Amino acid sequence: MSNILSEMATAVIEGNMNDIVDMTEDALDEGLNAKEILDNGLMPGMDHVGVEFKAGNMFVPEVLRSARTMQASMDILKPLLAESGAKMIGKILMGTVKGDMHDIGKNLAGMMCEGAGFEVIDLGKDIAPETFVEEVKKHQPDIIGMSALLTTTMRMMEQTIKALAEAGLRDQVKVMIGGAPVTQNFADQIGADGYASNAAAAAELAKRLVG
C-alpha cells in the first residue's frame, strides 16, 4: 500500500481531522484516483474502527471523530467518484422514523456504511412512511435503513414496511432497522430483512444484504 494511503488509514483511526484534507489532496497529486483512496486508505481505517468499536476498545465519541475525519476526505472525493462513474457497492436510504428526533445512532451508522463503500442518502429524522416511499421511488436504493430510539416510535418501522408493500416496492428494496429499543425479534415480527445493534454491525449487515 502506498505510504500516503496507510497514513490516511491511520488518520481515520486516530480521528485526525486536521491533516486528512491535506493528505487527500497529496494522494490525488500523487496520481491516485478517488476510488483507490477510498478503497485502500479510508475504508481500511474505518474497518479497523468498526472492529475496535465492536470489541469495546473504542467508544461513540471516538468513532464519531473517526467518521467525521473520513467525511472530510469524502467531501473532496465524492464529486470525483461521481465524475469517474466509480461503482459504489450499493445505495442506502436512511432515516429516523416519524415522531423520533434522535439521530446520533443513525448518523453513525450512515458514516460507517459510507466507509464500507456505500452511497448513503440521509433523509434526516422524523421521516413519515409516505416520505420513505416517495424517496425510494426517486432514488431506487438497494437498502432502506430505519432508526428509532423510542419504544413509541418503533411501530412506525412496521408502518413504513406496510407502506412499501402497498406501493408495490417491498420486493425492490431490503429493509434494515436499528436503535436502542429495537431487537432481532422485533425485526422478525415486522418483516424487516435485518437488524443491527450498532453502527459497525449496520455496515456489516448492509454488505451482507447486497450480497
Domain with CATH 1.10.1240.10 in the chain: 3-84
pLDDT tens, residue by residue, 23-75: 999 999 999 999 999 999 999 999 999 899 989 999 989 998 999 999 999 99
Chain-centre distance of CA 95, in angstroms?
Answer: 11
Enumerate helices (H) and strands (E) in the chain, giving the number of each. 10, 5
Q: What is the pLDDT of residue 2?
A: 79
Instruction: Give the DSSP letter of residue 13.
Output: H
Domain with CATH 3.40.50.280 in the chain: 90-209
Calculate the average pLDDT of the chain: 95
Q: Which class would CATH give 3-84?
A: mainly alpha
Q: How confident is the model at residue 201 (pLDDT cuts 50, 70, 90)?
A: very high
Q: How confident is the model at residue 87 (pLDDT cuts 50, 70, 90)?
A: confident
Q: Per this entry, what is the length of the chain?
A: 211
Q: Which CATH number applies to 90-209?
A: 3.40.50.280
pTM of the model: 0.86
pLDDT tens, residue by residue, 105-142: 899 899 889 888 899 999 999 999 999 999 999 999 99
Determine the Cα angle at 199 with ends 193 and 203, to 5°.
55
Q: What is the pLDDT of residue 1?
A: 57
Is the Cα torsion angle 9, 14, 17, 19 positive or negative in sign? negative
Q: What is the pLDDT of residue 115?
A: 85
